[in-house]
Structure 1
Amino acid sequence: MRVLLVEDDIALAEAVCGYLRAKAFVVDAVPSLAGARAALAGAQYAAILLDLHLGDGDGLALLPSIRMLKERPIVIVLTARDQVTDRIRGLDAGADDYLIKPYDPGELLARLRAAERRRSIGNAPLLQLGSIEIDLARDLVLRNGAPVLLTQKEWSLLRVMATRPDRIHTREVLQDALYGFDDGTDSNTLEVFISRLRRKLGRAHIQTLRGLGYRLAFSTTDE
């Protein structure tokens, strides 16, 4: 899952990025509205963590352009403004959630996952693919009841597909889920991770649609 953090407190941004990256999220951080607009023009994000008090304006000024995106990301406002009127204003402007500073990173993670589940099919954190069970709430994958060990990149890729299992996910979307601004990539890297996931989950559970992308398959076999 690729996340854009819009935060002008450098120390806080580094701490949040480090925490979320350790939880298998891909995170880009920018300190301004201008940086956020440039990032949104160049990549597709599943979530935006948005500070309100920025050097070049109010973070809420970004919400109208976010609402116009074809694939609208989750927006969680992060701010020191703790008045009820401020929260109402943020939610009315289109934010999905609102978190008051200082906040615990564990609570931010829980809010992010909860918002993600609300966007997923059936609002359910559990997905059953034959003998494979994917638990988005606990970052857990089971195969025939036994845990499947995934790397952070493998989990990031699987999370995108499992959140919207009805959808064909293009190469571009999946690449965005794997890499941030500062990560170098090879042209065949995505195929490498898809191949690794197929070995761990069973080939039948990830379907290739040539020229379109990939999606999860609700197969009853583990071939």
Structure 2
Amino acid sequence: MPQGTFTNSWISQAANILFCGSAAPDTTKFYLGLANTNALTRANTIVDFVSNELLATDGYARSQLILPNNGSYNTSNNRQELPTATITFTAQNTWQFQTVFLLANGHPVASLPFTSSNVNSATDRITIANHPWVSGDRLIFTADSTATLPTGINQATVYQVLSPTTNDFALGQVVSSTPINIQDTGSGTFRARSANGMVAAFAVESSLITLLAASSYSYQIPLVLLNTGLVSGN
């Protein structure tokens, strides 16, 4: 199993939780995802990870991480050891991936496809039947090969869902409740990708993993917090 690395954003958030009173992530919203790249680093953002995540249309789904208890403190190694979690992915079609990542406060649905015919530039709304998102959920958008995103939707931008109904929704900048202006429908097939929360940790395989249909691949995730005994100034 490859060695995991905490992301820079998670280290900063952990410090805010421990010392500045920020809210801890919802323990029911940790999800493991798979990405088809080996180029991600601890400095990358959730946009980079989610943009490279496997597609739900290939039978892929994020897997929820649940820890059964709080673990215990190991006095010999001076660290809190949480229970080792085992996550198993079973492919429905052939998958290829090289990076596994852990989302905190994530969404269970990785992505859903839609096409230019589902974009209404007159009302600035996107139609995806029975979509799972609620107001305030974060999304990013990617275009499949040869496709072009609608003008007004940028691939590297995180948007929030506004005024959703069962089958459609508008988009807004994360800091705004005003719907963005979608100027045309674009062309081809697109992906709406869930981008709630942040990437806490990730690991990169030494080579590309090819998982055939009906085959499984597991990750064992040992989580520990090390007490170095050092503070600022030492």
TM-score, normalised to structure 1, is: 0.27
Answer with 1 or 2: which has the greater Rg.
2
TM-score for both structures, normalised by structure 2: 0.26
Whose relative contact order is higher, 1 or 2, with alpha carbons under 8 Å and at least 6 apart? Answer: 2
More strand per residue: 1 or 2?
2
